[in-house]
Amino acid sequence: MMTCRELDRLITPFVDDECSPAERAGILTHLQQCPVCRTRVEAEATARNVLRAHAAVARTVGESPPWRPRVFRLGQPAVRVHPALLFVFAFICVGLVGLWLRPTPVLAVGVIGDSFCERDHRRFTTVFNASERECVLGCVKGGAEFVLVTDTQVYRIRNQQLPELAAFANRRVKVEGKMEDGRILVAKMVAIGADDAGAADARRPMSRR
């Protein structure tokens, strides 16, 4: 039967599904009879899942995760760690990632445009003798998405079905909502004049890290 010391060096390959069938069978047999090792394996598996989820989100928004997948080797600690501490660590990681992933409130001022032209409609308005509003609506009809174009950024919009998007095409608007998966989920949209913009430069609040 596999000993705790033998399992210790196999915890990380086991969690990453990289051990051999024979090793896996031995680990499963040992875990059925050893609650201490079972607790350590569960703690490492939880921590790995949290880190992978955080890394996946980072890649989705175009950022590089500040760690490699094997930064934490909970199965082979340099200093013996009590299983309860591993659970605490995993719990804290889950809480921090949950906080980081929480939708970010957004208040933005910009112009409703399309994902093809974004800031420059001249290549279509000149050729087709169309207005910029007609260009936005035509591009969306041709497969583009409505976007919010601010002075500093182009925001993708999650709920493309909003009737206000077509109604306010190429108009300056104030948008309130939440940032989800790199796109604004619009809760409220109102048209504004140039004088109403004030100092509101649409910026996404600083990301939680």
102 pLDDT band (50/70/90 cuts)? Answer: low
Counting Cβ atoms within 10 Å, is residue 59 exposed (0-12), middle (13-18) or buried (19+)?
A: exposed
Looking at residue 95, what is its pLDDT?
61
Name the strand (E) or helix (H) holding 177: strand 172-180
- 43-47, 124-128, 199-203: the lowest-pLDDT one: 199-203
What's the chain's length in residues? Answer: 209
pLDDT at 113 > cutoff 80: yes
- 89-93, 111-115, 204-208: the lowest-pLDDT one: 204-208
pLDDT at 206 > cutoff 70: no
Question: Which is higher by pLDDT, 110 or 195?
Answer: 110
Task: List Cβ neighbours of 72 (8 Å cut-off, separation of 6 or more).
Answer: 44, 47, 48, 51
22: three-class secondary structure by DSSP = helix
Looking at residue 209, what is its pLDDT?
34
Question: Which is higher by pLDDT, 44 or 164?
Answer: 164
Task: Sketch out the chain's domains with CATH numbers.
Answer: 4-101 (no CATH), 104-196 (2.40.50)
- Express each pLDDT in 10-51 by its tens digit: 888 888 888 899 999 999 999 999 988 888 888 888 877 767
- 18-32, 48-62, 95-109: the lowest-pLDDT one: 48-62
- Please tell me whether the overall predicted TM-score, pTM, comes out greater than 0.75 for this model: no
106: three-class secondary structure by DSSP = strand
| C-alpha–C-alpha distance, residues 157 and 72, integer Å | 37
